[in-house]
Amino acid sequence: MTRPILLTTGQWGDMPLETLAQKLSEWGYDGVELGSGGDHFDVEACLSSDRYARDKKDMLAKYGLKCYAISNHCVGQCVCDDLVDERHQAIIPKSVWGDGKPEGVQERAAEHMKNAALAAKLMDVKVVTAFTGSSIWRKLYFWPPTSDDVIDAGYRDFAERFTPIFDVFEKEEIKFALEVHPTEIAYDIYTMQRALEAVNYHPAFGINFDPSHLIPQFVDPVKLLEAFPDRIFHMHVKDSKVRLDGRNSILSSHLNFGDPRRGWDFVSPGRGDVDWDQVMRALNRINYQGPLTIEWEDSGMDREWGAQEALEMVKKQSFPPSGQAFDSAFSKRD
């Protein structure tokens, strides 16, 4: 089993896609997860032009690359977020923002997400990675006192908004892979279980496995893989490092990424607290056949240097499972 190694392009949106594709080809990548934004991928343009998808695929093929997934995280965040502000406006298309009134933004984001499934099909892609947002994330700490009814309503809201989206994904034979992540409807194992229950285990709904978001929560990434082996639709190779020093916390102290005072931060894959050996063994156990997609984020390292180092790390760690017991050679033979 040889899994292709990709780069998700979202953090490179300031670089023309063809420039990035040429670099990835030279470095030895197999393909990309196209991030929505810049000239990398535009859902609306893809649906409005007969040539858009073909031109993207042809350009990538010129450099020996293939698109395996599309990222639509930013728009997905707006579907369930009912507190919409300038942060959302900065990351979504103007057509989705509109007049900025929350319910309208949510409705337009939902339609845009449905269109992402149609665009993915035109790109011959089987997975869209995304966020969902959440109407209850900001109520995480349960103060002021928060009743079970309030939390139940949040999961009903998620189901009502996303079930029609998942229905479109199922019709188009595309998988919706939620990145289990703080600020989303699912951020750990228990909340992912509840999200699945809320949509009656919709077949189109699963996980974009990214261990870097579990490490700062002290959740074992392998446990997530073991809990939902048939729902791992995609994965991000991304790392994080906990740096608690007695003065900071995992809540990050309202400090920006890259600030050394933070209690944790993202680092280049292989330089953090993710046990990649155990992750790869777990992926083999659940028979994950998808790509290994490097999502490179490290405020203290040059990204081109880091993307190459990360690629070499993944190549070394991605070993095939054994086809026999190690001691089978010692067994008796007829």
- Alpha-carbon span 308 to 226, nearest angstrom: 30
Amino acid at 123: M
| DSSP result, 159-189 | HHHHHHHHHHHHHHT-EEEEE--TTSS--SH
List, for residues 113-151, the tens digit of each pLDDT value: 999 999 999 999 999 999 999 999 999 999 999 999 999
User: What does the pLDDT read at residue 157?
Assistant: 98
- What letter does residue 211 receive in the DSSP assignment? G
Q: Is 64 left (phi over 0), alpha (psi -120 to 50) or beta?
A: left
**Rounded (10°) CA dihedral 273, 278, 282, 284:** 120
Q: According to the model, what pLDDT value does residue 324 have?
A: 66
pLDDT at res. 38: 84
Tabulate helix, strand, coil % of the chain (nearest 5): 45, 15, 40
Task: Report d(CA 192, CA 180) in Å as an integer.
Answer: 7
- pLDDT at position 332, please? 62
What is the domain-level CATH number for residue 145?
3.20.20.150
* This prediction's pTM: 0.96
Task: Tell me the DSSP string of 190-209.
Answer: HHHHHHHHHTTS-TTEEEEE
Range list of H helices, 52-147: 52-62, 73-80, 86-89, 94-97, 102-122
Predicted local distance difference test score (pLDDT) of residue 334: 52
Q: Looking at the 3D structure of the chain, how many domains does it have?
A: 1
The C-alpha atoms of residue 94 and residue 132 are separated, in whole angstroms, by 19
- The owner of tokens 């869209």 is 128
Residue with tokens 């928060």: 146
State CA 3 to chain mean position distance: 17
Low-confidence spans in the chain with pLDDT less than 50: none
Task: State residue 37's pLDDT score.
Answer: 84
Give the orientation angle of helix 303-317 with respect to helix 276-285, to 10 degrees: 50
What is the domain extent for residue 107? 5-330
Cα angle 313, 317, 318; round to 5: 115
Sorted by sequence, the CB contacts under 8 Å of residue 51 that are 6+ apart come out as none
* 3 state SS of 5: strand
